[in-house]
Structure 1
């Protein structure tokens, strides 16, 4: 497919999703610049429109850093423009402190899949994999590593495996196994905010297992962008020095900081309700696909661990994407968004489902009706 045609199809999808009045979530990419500015202005009013803007990370950015460290129970936190930069800096700092440049992590983790080999190229780090199973590594697998490593990185939840989480005891045992090897533990907590219901522990308890934690402000909280790296005060101070070296000390960041603070106020308290309702949506999808006689399907995990999960269907991605756009345009209803057929066997495609505030209005019957309507368009 030519780039021009791909761009046209993407624009059509985003327009259809933006105009739809029934959806399970409302990603920022479907909103206009004007609507985003209206929301930002409204959010800024809560944080003092008369206050001066930040300069190189002071003011409202420091307010955000203090808020994050207070929420997850660490000594300090540093704002970063991207999570990619935050994690590279964290792992680089720990390599220097431990004297070991090897990082143990899952091969599906973000640095391995989405950062273009940045760990070895930029920081001189190398990686080892305790497991290739589509889940977090177990304590016995961590103990079985046959070479020393300085840092164990755990992604909570592991997105590429279906936003999966371990149980609390499994997580604690995995951390203990790393401690036995004199390694530090870093949490990729981009989506840490929604992990508490499944793990049955508070955010400070979860973060307290690790030596450092990264969190995102846009993946679950609806912020414009940005991330924070949290941990001991001396570690965060060092991370800020590397942030400067990496070009992450921006002149002004107040729009991102304001949107992140608003997300902490507005979305964080609602995440447990999203996680709970995702279970209703997932069960309704499974029942509806089965009732429709779908030749093969998978909702994974069957009971979601967070408010996000995967759906797999035995059709080409182009077919499913076209059906989804038509459903949005003709009915004003968005059940599924972008499908991908490059992550599984031939003829099988996968999409990620996210349930946020708009999705709370969907009953199981609404989901079933949406599936029936969607599959009719697929078969057409």
Structure 2
């Protein structure tokens, strides 16, 4: 870990107030989370039984699927989902968005390790529409929908759009796979329960560390046939690990603690986003946010914003938002804002005051 990153983590951990993100946890903090996830006097898992099976059953119940299979990483789970579609349909191609996780963050594992070919579903900064799927022009085994699409700004379709694209995918003979790493917080915008949302898909991947405060791990959920297939390929990919109980217990704790809070985070994100949009030169997208995460642009260099945030945190004990990057918009930098935990304590006036303080620092 770099000295600069360590400095940011220490500063954020010591802040009394945090607007974006959650307070970083040490390894000792994580040990305390284990207690909340299950009986530490019980037996650990052995190659996927015990606590792993308990988590799988819990997630299958939450999603309303026949099966759920735990994977150490989402990258592995998504490869298996696309491989399954290709094997079952005989079509070695999948419809993917160029901003989707498989293309941007997984180093094209579906192509490099599985030999599949990606077909671009759309070039718009959103998920594909039913019309775009209908005119793909070539057969695909799976259509991937990312809920929400993180690299487009955490954007979601409407419920009617999602229903239509699922129908259009099946009309061309394709399966529907939801890249649902953050599907947990998508239900308020869609206006439907998790059961109703996942019922539109043939397979769903969910993550435990992106919104539920886990340390690692994912689940691939779907039919019983998919579950059998996923367990076989999980083993072949090296994902059937001897023991994974720390990640599993902390995931269970996250389901208990964070999942019920997500609707509140989503609602409060709208208040915070509106207040941030009133800062001089600020731009917020989407407005209002679709989930509890959104993007914020300010008219300063990323390096200057990062330094100002850190200085304000170390001096005043207030963390504004980190992770600034220079944007495509000339003269602006952008960051991802996550409303969770301590951010619920912030009012619009608090945001205005902290924003003014940050701008004065700049």
Q: Is the TM-score greater than 0.5?
A: yes
Asked if 2 retains the 8 angstrom alpha-carbon contact of 1:143 and 1:178, the reply is yes
Q: Does 1:320 align with 2:314?
A: no
**1:40-51 alignment, distance < 5 Å:** 40=34, 42-44=35-37, 47-51=38-42
Which of 352, 356, 373 in structure 1 is aligned with 2:340?
356
Asked if 2 retains the 8 angstrom alpha-carbon contact of 1:189 and 1:215, the reply is yes
Which of 305, 325, 336 in structure 1 is aligned with 2:321?
336
Q: Extract structure 1 runs of 4+ deviating beyond 3 A.
A: 25-28
Partner of 2:360: 376
- Displacement of 1:33 after TM fit? 1.6
Q: RMSD between aligned alpha carbons?
A: 1.3
**Distance in 2 (alpha carbons) for counterparts of 1:275 and 1:152:** 27
- Displacement of 1:348 after TM fit? 2.3
Report SS of the residue matched to 1:237. Answer: helix
- Displacement of 1:63 after TM fit? 0.2
Q: Does 1:268 align with 2:253?
A: no
The CA deviation string for residues 226-279 of structure 1, in whole angstroms up to 9 with x for no partner, is: 000000011111011111111101110111110111111111111100000000
- Displacement of 1:25 after TM fit? 4.8
Aligned residues: 362
The CA deviation string for residues 311-335 of structure 1, in whole angstroms up to 9 with x for no partner, is: 0122221111111101111111111
Which of 128, 133, 143 in structure 2 is aligned with 1:137?
128
**Distance in 2 (alpha carbons) for counterparts of 1:48 and 1:38:** 12
Report SS of the residue matched to 2:334. Answer: strand
TM-score when normalising by structure 2:
0.97
Partner of 1:177: 168
Asked if 2 retains the 8 angstrom alpha-carbon contact of 1:130 and 1:144, the reply is no
- Displacement of 1:130 after TM fit? 2.1
**Distance in 2 (alpha carbons) for counterparts of 1:280 and 1:224:** 29
Report SS of the residue matched to 2:2. Answer: helix
Which of 257, 263, 277 in structure 1 is aligned with 2:248?
257
Report SS of the residue matched to 2:81. Answer: helix
Partner of 1:347: 331
Report SS of the residue matched to 1:123. Answer: coil
**Distance in 2 (alpha carbons) for counterparts of 1:118 and 1:48:** 37
Report SS of the residue matched to 1:127. Answer: strand
Partner of 1:197: 188
Partner of 1:57: 48
Asked if 1 retains the 8 angstrom alpha-carbon contact of 2:98 and 2:104, the reply is yes
**1:290-301 alignment, distance < 5 Å:** 293-294=280-281, 297-301=282-286
Partner of 1:3: none
Partner of 1:231: 222
Q: Does 1:12 align with 2:3?
A: no
- Displacement of 1:347 after TM fit? 3.1
- Displacement of 1:26 after TM fit? 4.8
**Distance in 1 (alpha carbons) for counterparts of 2:56 and 2:175:** 23
Report SS of the residue matched to 2:137. Answer: coil
TM-score when normalising by structure 1:
0.93
- Displacement of 1:115 after TM fit? 1.1
Q: Does 1:284 align with 2:275?
A: yes
Q: Cα–Cα, structure 1 residues 321 and 344, in superposed 2: closer, same or farther, change >3 Å?
A: same
Partner of 1:32: 26
- Displacement of 1:346 after TM fit? 4.2
Which of 97, 103, 119 in structure 1 is aligned with 2:110?
119
Report SS of the residue matched to 1:77. Answer: strand
Asked if 2 retains the 8 angstrom alpha-carbon contact of 1:218 and 1:226, the reply is yes
Structure 1: gaps (5+ residues): 1-5
- Displacement of 1:43 after TM fit? 1.2
Report SS of the residue matched to 1:87. Answer: helix
Asked if 2 retains the 8 angstrom alpha-carbon contact of 1:25 and 1:357, the reply is no
Report SS of the residue matched to 1:277. Answer: helix
Asked if 2 retains the 8 angstrom alpha-carbon contact of 1:136 and 1:154, the reply is yes
Asked if 2 retains the 8 angstrom alpha-carbon contact of 1:136 and 1:165, the reply is yes
Which of 76, 79, 92 in structure 1 is aligned with 2:67?
76
The CA deviation string for residues 200-226 of structure 1, in whole angstroms up to 9 with x for no partner, is: 000010000000000001111111110
Structure 2: gaps (5+ residues): none
